[in-house]
Structure 1
Amino acid sequence: MARVGIVGASGYGGAELVRLLDGHPDLEVETLAAHSGAGTPVADLFPNLQGRGRFDAIDVDALGRLDLVFVATPDGPALDLVPDLVAAGTRVVDLSAAHRLPAEDYATFYGQAHPRPDDTPAVYGLTEFARDRVADATVVANPGCYVTTALLSLVPVASLLDLSTLVVDGKSGTSGAGRGVSDRMHVSHVTASITAYGVPGHRHTGEIEVHLGLLGEVDRPTITFTPHLVPMVRGLLTTSVARLADGVMGDDLRDALETRYADEPFVTVLPAGTQPVTKAVAGSNSAQVAVEVDDRTGRATLTSVTDNLVKGAAGQAVQNANMMLGLDERAGLPTVGTYP
């Protein structure tokens, strides 16, 4: 039984890790650490997690004696904590955005120089496309929820699209904003409403560009990405539109997706004429992907859904941890959503 800890366990991503790891056959959670929440009963924040005691203070030395630590903090604390955990002797899955981009791209999309550009390099953990690298990694950067959802539909067909025309639209439930209180997340503002945000330069734009180029083995594209907040708690949908590359037929895209995901436990390519719905994957580590081509315009529309807290965050983190610890990749991870 591998011993693991969660830092940032008082946030939504951390709490989802607790829920998933509760049924994991091979991982034992030894500490649920939080900064501002230290000493607070876990059930005071998350009534579904009764009997889990209190949140611990962050003790790097104690965490360093574990086999692996999940870091589910905001970016700033993760930038300081991850190198300290590595120095203490443990491996890390970082759910923050602190280590997802090269230093030069971090500066472009985060508006400041990377505070620690010489840290231990992190492996970008879109698991389906990085299994061997993840298995050997000391630090895995868990991808963003929007990015995971978009890239699962785009990476297998990147070479078949004119990526200079790529536009990605994302819609996420409110849990993607985290547990922090803000005026724009007030129920009176969110209910029966939808809004775009982060326009025109949301930081996930750079993450999509960098890793679509690397994982799709194509020249790095320049894209337009617009996220939207929708009035539901969890779930994420991306719709990506681009022209077909010269000589590419519509069936080529479907063939590429079906071939690439034929043996994947968590990704399903839907039949032609079927579109994914977020509720179908709620609570699961699964993604559904669909593709349609408009012959009139020569454009492909690729849609994809995930649960933003599971495959978009905690579930993918467990999937990566399973690979790092030599376990069954599917261990502890539900593949069927809760419906309706």
Structure 2
Amino acid sequence: MTYSVAVSGASGYAGGEILRLLAQHPDVEIRTVTAHSNAGQPLAVHQPHLRSLAHLTLQETTPEVLAGHDIVVLALPHGQSGQYTDALDEVPLVIDAGADHRLRDASAWQQFYDGPHHAPWTYGVPELPVGGGKIRDSLVGATRIAAPGCNASTVSLSLAPGVAAGVIDSSDIVSVLAVGPSGAGKSLKPHLLASEVLGSANPYAVGGTHRHIPEIRQALEDAGAADVRISFTPVIVPMARGILATSTAPLAADATDADIRAAWEAAYADEPFVQLLPDGHFPRTADVVGANTALLGLAVDRSAGRVVVVAAVDNLVKGTAGAAVQSMNIALGLPEGRALTMNGVAP
């Protein structure tokens, strides 16, 4: 069976990456691409690298245009998906790459976002431990999927195994992330101009204000944490793609070094797209460019009494589009890795 797909927000970075992955998917046909201010223009004007899709023209983003497909993927700014998802009841599978359907707690949504809170959907991070299993189990046959926030899923994948195994204390987490500006989208913003970013490292959303914080809390609570407190500081650095997240948390009093490493090994031993590197090895963002892979390095800092996890992902692939396609595959009963690669691009 070939599934018809419509992608909204197709002129942006996330939409373009979703299209790049789906273009090589043997079970889907990309029939419709939509945009807002760029409607009416050829897709190739905004995504010139997608040569196999150069015949497509961006249409208006309306429920009428999106309806009638087997799959609709929304790659829209936060707060804009809900107005469309409410009108797409008859579409068999809808995937939202924005934040509108990620959070269960309406008060957390109101604290960090604007507009009405919408019903939570199945979270699109298959490998995350939850309730003695993985989120993957909930994705089988899902009809509504919320793709993750890139920073949130990176930190959650970094720490959830330790939470689930009870070898770390989730009440004192510190995460500092080096992130590429593509995670902020394609709209022109003065602080993301090359002249502002090149040769500099720029912190933002400091002091507990970043929108991915409640998403991390929710994921770690689902992994078994009773109390999640996190100091989360992202820093924009001059690389187009990538996240390098360094997360630390106190060790449980009786956890041995072997116990700690075993928790992460057990969680990800059979996961092709989340890999724990050998002891003493740590990832670089360059190792995951273009890949649907999260690479983790783990260290136990006994002098500080903390575990240190360094994670590298491509924010546009494993952080967003790859997670969406991987979750789509699971929901449809297709091979999970179809149209995805664990191999990065080098140099």
With normalisation by structure 2, the TM-score equals: 0.93
CA distance in 2 between counterparts of 1:278 and 1:173 reads 10
CA distance in 1 between counterparts of 2:237 and 2:304 reads 29
Verify the 8 A CA contact 1:172 1:234 in the aligned structure 2.
yes
CA distance in 1 between counterparts of 2:189 and 2:199 reads 18
Q: CA, structure 1 residues 126+44, in 2 after alignment: closer, same or farther (shift >3 Å)? A: same
SS in 1 for 2:172: strand
Equivalences for residues 37-186 of structure 1 within 5 A: 37-50=38-51, 51-85=54-88, 87-102=89-104, 103-110=106-113, 112=114, 115-117=116-118, 119=119, 121-128=120-127, 129-158=134-163, 159-186=166-193
Displacement after TM superposition at 1:153 (Å): 1.4
SS in 1 for 2:29: strand
Displacement after TM superposition at 1:96 (Å): 0.2
CA distance in 2 between counterparts of 1:116 and 1:221 reads 22
- Which amino acid is the alignment partner of residue 67 of structure 1? D
How many pairs are equivalent?
334
SS in 2 for 1:56: strand
Range that drifts further, 250-259 or 316-325 = 250-259
SS in 2 for 1:152: helix
> Aligned match of 2:286 in 279, 282, 288?
279
CA distance in 2 between counterparts of 1:250 and 1:151 reads 21
SS in 2 for 1:146: helix
CA distance in 1 between counterparts of 2:111 and 2:174 reads 20
> Aligned match of 1:241 in 236, 248, 270?
248
Displacement after TM superposition at 1:104 (Å): 2.2
CA distance in 1 between counterparts of 2:332 and 2:41 reads 30
Displacement after TM superposition at 1:59 (Å): 4.0
Which ranges of structure 1 fall in alignment gaps of 5 or more residues?
none
Q: Which structure carries more helix by proportion?
A: 1
2:317 equivalent to 1:310: yes
- Which amino acid is the alignment partner of residue 278 of structure 2? P
- Which amino acid is the alignment partner of residue 344 of structure 2? G
CA distance in 1 between counterparts of 2:59 and 2:272 reads 35
Displacement after TM superposition at 1:97 (Å): 0.8
Q: Give the root-mean-square deviation of aligned CA atoms.
A: 1.4
CA distance in 2 between counterparts of 1:302 and 1:89 reads 40
Identity %: 41
2:338 equivalent to 1:339: no
CA distance in 2 between counterparts of 1:13 and 1:52 reads 20
Deviations 1:137-164 (A, max 9, x none): 2211111000111111111111211112
Deviations 1:298-322 (A, max 9, x none): 1110111110000001111000111
Deviations 1:19-44 (A, max 9, x none): 11111111111111112111111111
SS in 1 for 2:307: strand
